[in-house]
Structure 1
Amino acid sequence: MDPASGVIVAQTAAGTSVVLGLMRCGRIWLCPVCAATIRHKRAEEITAAVVEWIRRGGTAYLVTFTARHGHTDRLADLMDALQGTRKTPDTPRRPGAYQRLITGGTWAGRRATDGRGHADRDGIRDRIGYIGMIRATEVTVGQINGWHPHIHAIVMVGGRTEGERAAKQVVATFEPTEAALSEWQGHWRAVWTRTLRGINPDFTPDDRHGVDFKRLETERDANDLAEYIAKTQDGKAPALELARADLKTAAHGNVAPFELLGRIADLTGGMAEDEAGGVGPLEWNLARWHEYERATKGRRAIEWTRYLRQTLGIDGGDTEDDDLDLLLGADAEGGELRAGVAVTEDGWTAVTRRALDLAATQAAEGKDGNTDPAAVGERVREVLALADAADSVVVLTSDEVAEAYADMLTALALRREQAAARRRREQEQEILHKGGKVSLRHEARDARRALARHATDPSSH
């Protein structure tokens, strides 16, 4: 992050080690290292949101959406059908089946023909008290059935709100009626199936597999009656089901993307096919991985309904910058630092060039119980000597490590303040933009009415 400072390899009070001062790629789809941390932090956010909503008296569902797929279907086409196409300089963005779920008069209510009110003020959205949802997209692939992208969403219902956009607040909660819930589930199944059929009839799912609803139940914590733990009916933690795709091993002969990557590493490293993890020959795994890279580029892996975070009092955002903030925050959560070394930029470059960065990090751990800074420094220096970089190490006392740690926290706090300011500006700009569009629509409406009056009565102005 700062070439002048290099990096700091430090030991924590828990005996683990952490490397401070490194940039992260933050690629949640492609990087096993960054994805593990980002998804872990996202899972914590989702858990906090679900617990908060249930604590308020709301209701949540885990809803899974899938499409029919075959071995000849391209992943990009399936992702477009589910998530919508990505906007390019030459083509506008087209919605997918997911976006269609929360549009239309049946869902949102219908305006009266005179445009002055609602003929059906209580659409399905209002009858179930829809607040928003958190969506995560997961991808698996198999040699027989091909790509299988699917969406998990935690949907929060049972709330009454006032205000719009960033100013929206929950003013009450209620239990939706069975009739309203049944209507909602039937509507979403119909919209999902109809939209996929319109995009490509081959993607049309059957009634049993297309959309699956699981209500999230609660258990009162035995030690603290104020705390709730949300979990699905089959016992899975909904946040992990949503966010931790990096932990999953696919079923029915399918593999997760990082299993493709692991098999590629095994096979290119000389391991026999029957001993390597995953399935298929190297060429098949490479082709699938490259297709996966292209199809996921520019897409969000995890996304919240806009303003849902603010409504529930959860900080953060869903952008790549926010993912980087989570990575930096995870670096700063290692606990008290008690011994370490500073390594110059050139020294660390030499270490990574020889793939010794993991060994250097492990050398700083306190597994042998020796936490003396000089001993930690000597162990790390021995590793760097293998890269001809032993002279680039400076041993830090616990006070010096603490000072470096404080500097890192200060930099992280500044970054988070800048991210929060950026989100506020984006929200303000959107509100101004929407307001301007509404004003123009009103002016155009008034002009049309004036023209209509003049056409029937030329003497009017």
Structure 2
Amino acid sequence: MDPASGVIVAQTAAGTSVVLGLMRCGRIWLCPVCAATIRHKRAEEITTAVVEWIRQGGIAYLVTFTARHGHADRLADLMDALQGTRKTPDTPRRPGAYQRLITGGTWAGRRSSDGHRAADREGIRDRIGYVGMIRATEVTVGQINGWHPHIHAIVLVGGRTEGEKADKRVVATFTPGDSALQEWEDHWRAVWTRTLRGVNPAFTPDDRHGVDFKRLHTERDANDLAEYIAKTQDGKAPALELARADLKTAGGENVTPFELLGRIGDLTGGVPEDEAQGQGSLEWNLARWHEYERATKGRRAIEWTRYLRSLLGIDGGDTEADDMDLLLAADADGGELRAGVAVTEEGWTAVTRRALDLAAMEAAEGTDGNTDPAAMGERVREVLALADVADAVVVLSSGEVADAYAAMLEALALRREEAAARRRREAEDHDQDDDAETAQERARRALARRVTDVSSH
């Protein structure tokens, strides 16, 4: 994180080790290490939000969206159909089936000519008390049926709100009627199916599998499904441990992208094909992984609808920069540190080049029962001597570790303040874009009405 301060290999009060001061790649789609931490933190956010919403008297649903797919379909095409296309310098962003769910007069209601909405102009959104949703996109692939991207969303309903955008607030909760809930389910199924059919008739799902609704009846449901929606791509609930063994879990015909990666590692490491977990040749797994890299670039794996976080009192955001903030904050959650070893940037580079970083962390742990800083420092120094950098380390007492750690936290706080200011600027810019788009949409509808009037006469 800071070349001037290097890194600290420290021992916690629990006898475990942590390395402070390292940057992370933050690639939630591509890195098993960063993904485990990010998704764990995201699951905590979701749990907090959904449990609190149910406690307030609101209602939550888990809704799963899928598309029909075959072995010849490209992942990028399926992702475009579900999530929408990505904006490029030459082409605007095109909404996908997901965005179409929450647009249009049937959903959002219709305003009168003076810009206000009467009760008889309410949309489905108003009748069910839609507050927002949290979306997670997951991908699997198989040799027979090809790519299978699908979306899990926790949808919060049963709320009455006042205000607009960032000033919106919940003023009451209620239980929507059965007819309103059924109307919502029918509408989303129709929109989802119609949109996918318009993109590619081959993507049209059947009525049973396209959109599935499950209500979360209890706080336990909310906790369990928050873990589920933010789970790692290996199919397990998130955890902070390095997940090498977790890569070997998929059953059936499909595998997860991280299982592709695991099989690639096995096959390139000399494990025979019939002994390696997963499926397919090395060439097939590499081709699928590279396609997955390209198709997920620039996309968000987990996303909250705009202003839902502030409405529920949850800080943060969903961008890659926010993911990096979560990783840095996770490093700051190491707890009390009782001893450590400071290593210069050049020294740590030499350590990782020799693949001795894990050995250094193991040496920092109090596995021999001796937690004295000097003894810990000697153990780490012996490991680092193998990389010819024993002289590039400084043993730190508990007080010195605390001072160095505080300096890192101060730098982290400054970065987080800068990130928060960046998010505010981006939100303000987005609001201006939304206002312009709204004006354009009103003008388009007015023009359409005039054309209809002229045609009818």
Normalised by the length of structure 1, the TM-score is 0.90
> How big is the shift at 1:280?
1.2
Task: Judge conservation of contact 1:109–1:118 (CA < 8 Å) in 2.
Answer: no
Match of 1:238 among 216, 219, 225: 225
Counterpart for residue 400 of structure 1: 400
1:231 is paired with a residue of what secondary structure?
A: helix
Question: Please, which runs of 5 or more residues in structure 2 have no aligned partner?
Answer: 236-248, 448-457
1:245 is paired with a residue of what secondary structure?
A: coil
Task: Tell me, in whole angstroms, the C-alpha distance in 1 between the residues paired with 2:186 and 2:437.
Answer: 34
Task: Judge conservation of contact 2:234–2:258 (CA < 8 Å) in 1.
Answer: no
2:255 is paired with a residue of what secondary structure?
A: coil
> How big is the shift at 1:103?
0.7
Number of positions where the alignment pairs a residue of Structure 1 with one of Structure 2: 435
Change (3 A) 1:230 1:50: farther
Task: Tell me, in whole angstroms, the C-alpha distance in 2 between the residues paired with 1:268 and 1:175.
Answer: 56
1:110 is paired with a residue of what secondary structure?
A: coil
1:179-205 C-alpha deviation (Å, 9 max, x unpaired) = 111110111011111111111111111
Counterpart for residue 5 of structure 2: 5
What root-mean-square deviation, in Å, do the aligned CA atoms of Structure 1 and Structure 2 show? 2.2
Instruction: For 2:390, give the aligned amino acid.
Output: A
Change (3 A) 1:351 1:231: same
Identity of aligned residues (%): 80
Task: Judge conservation of contact 2:234–2:250 (CA < 8 Å) in 1.
Answer: no
Instruction: For 1:11, give the aligned amino acid.
Output: Q
Change (3 A) 1:273 1:111: same
1:229-262 C-alpha deviation (Å, 9 max, x unpaired) = 3416xxx811111111334144422111111111
Task: Tell me, in whole angstroms, the C-alpha distance in 2 between the residues paired with 1:160 and 1:211.
Answer: 25
Task: Tell me, in whole angstroms, the C-alpha distance in 1 between the residues paired with 2:283 and 2:388.
Answer: 37
1:340 is paired with a residue of what secondary structure?
A: strand
Instruction: For 2:229, give the aligned amino acid.
Output: L
Counterpart for residue 148 of structure 1: 148
Task: Tell me, in whole angstroms, the C-alpha distance in 1 between the residues paired with 2:181 and 2:25.
Answer: 42
Task: Tell me, in whole angstroms, the C-alpha distance in 2 between the residues paired with 1:168 and 1:134.
Answer: 17
> How big is the shift at 1:380?
1.3
Instruction: For 2:109, give the aligned amino acid.
Output: G
Task: Tell me, in whole angstroms, the C-alpha distance in 1 between the residues paired with 2:289 and 2:345.
Answer: 32
> How big is the shift at 1:112?
3.9
Change (3 A) 1:136 1:435: closer
Instruction: For 1:167, give the aligned amino acid.
Output: D
Task: Judge conservation of contact 1:111–1:120 (CA < 8 Å) in 2.
Answer: no
Change (3 A) 1:147 1:66: same
Task: Judge conservation of contact 2:97–2:196 (CA < 8 Å) in 1.
Answer: yes
Counterpart for residue 15 of structure 1: 15
1:27 is paired with a residue of what secondary structure?
A: coil
Instruction: For 1:54, give the aligned amino acid.
Output: I
Counterpart for residue 167 of structure 1: 167
Counterpart for residue 421 of structure 1: 421
- 1:194-205 counterparts in 2 under 5 A? 194-205=194-205
Normalised by the length of structure 2, the TM-score is 0.91
Moved more, 419-428 or 365-374: 419-428
Moved more, 278-287 or 352-361: 352-361
Task: Tell me, in whole angstroms, the C-alpha distance in 1 between the residues paired with 2:266 and 2:438.
Answer: 57
Instruction: For 2:51, give the aligned amino acid.
Output: V
1:296-344 C-alpha deviation (Å, 9 max, x unpaired) = 0000000000000000000000111111110011001011001110111
- 1:143-292 counterparts in 2 under 5 A? 143-218=143-218, 229-231=219-221, 237-248=224-235, 249-292=249-292
Task: Judge conservation of contact 1:61–1:215 (CA < 8 Å) in 2.
Answer: yes
Task: Judge conservation of contact 1:127–1:180 (CA < 8 Å) in 2.
Answer: yes
Task: Tell me, in whole angstroms, the C-alpha distance in 1 between the residues paired with 2:203 and 2:253.
Answer: 20
Moved more, 99-108 or 412-421: 412-421
Counterpart for residue 299 of structure 1: 299
1:336-387 C-alpha deviation (Å, 9 max, x unpaired) = 0011101111111011111221221122112222211112112212221222
- 1:235-384 counterparts in 2 under 5 A? 237-248=224-235, 249-384=249-384
1:418 is paired with a residue of what secondary structure?
A: helix
1:142-189 C-alpha deviation (Å, 9 max, x unpaired) = 111110000000000000001110000001000011111111011101
Task: Tell me, in whole angstroms, the C-alpha distance in 2 between the residues paired with 1:439 and 1:140.
Answer: 40
